[in-house]
Amino acid sequence: MQPLPAEFLEALAAADEVLVTSREGEARGTVPTWFVIAPPGVVYLFTFSFSEKARRFRSDPWVRLSTRDAPRVSTEGIAHFVAAEDLDDATAALIVERWSMQGAPTIEGLRRTLRDRVHALIRVEGLPLPVGEGQGEG
């Protein structure tokens, strides 16, 4: 997993929502969305499976995340759909704590709503670094 930039995560940490921009061709849409920051520095979004952003992510995984408050900080990343069986217990506990009133009151309930495709869990990772960057010098 490629973490998102630390500066962005620090700016986002005190916020309740993140602005999520998705695209389809030339069309773009931005909506405020609840989120969870989880190790190793990725953001999870929980949404209805039939939402516009989920539909767009299925055809183009590019995403821009932006803070709502000034100064606005943004980063681009890649959206990955997380299957129920791929969700670890520690991350599931963070998500249940945050969204217990949104259809996932327990870890098993969260996994069930993902398996039933009522909701989608989307992990946003940073963009891959260009070859040679961030790999240290020998």
Q: Are 19 and 37 in contact (CB under 8 A)?
A: no
The predicted model scores a pTM of 0.88
Which is more confidently placed, 94 or 129? 94
Annotation: CATH topology of 6-126: Pnp Oxidase; Chain A (2.30.110)
Please report which residue ranges of 6-127 form alpha helices under DSSP H. 6-12, 52-59, 89-99, 107-115
Give the per-residue pLDDT at 14. 86
- Taking the domains of the chain in order of start, what are their residue ranges? 6-126
**Any idea how long the chain is?**
138
Q: How far apart are alpha carbons 75 and 127 in whole angstroms? A: 9
What mean pLDDT is predicted for residues 67-87? 94
**pLDDT bucket at 137, cuts 50 / 70 / 90:** very low
At residue 44, does pLDDT exceed 50?
yes
40 secondary structure, DSSP code: T
Q: If you average pLDDT over every residue of the chain, what do you get? A: 90
Q: What is the rounded CA–CA span in Å between residue 109 and residue 121?
A: 13
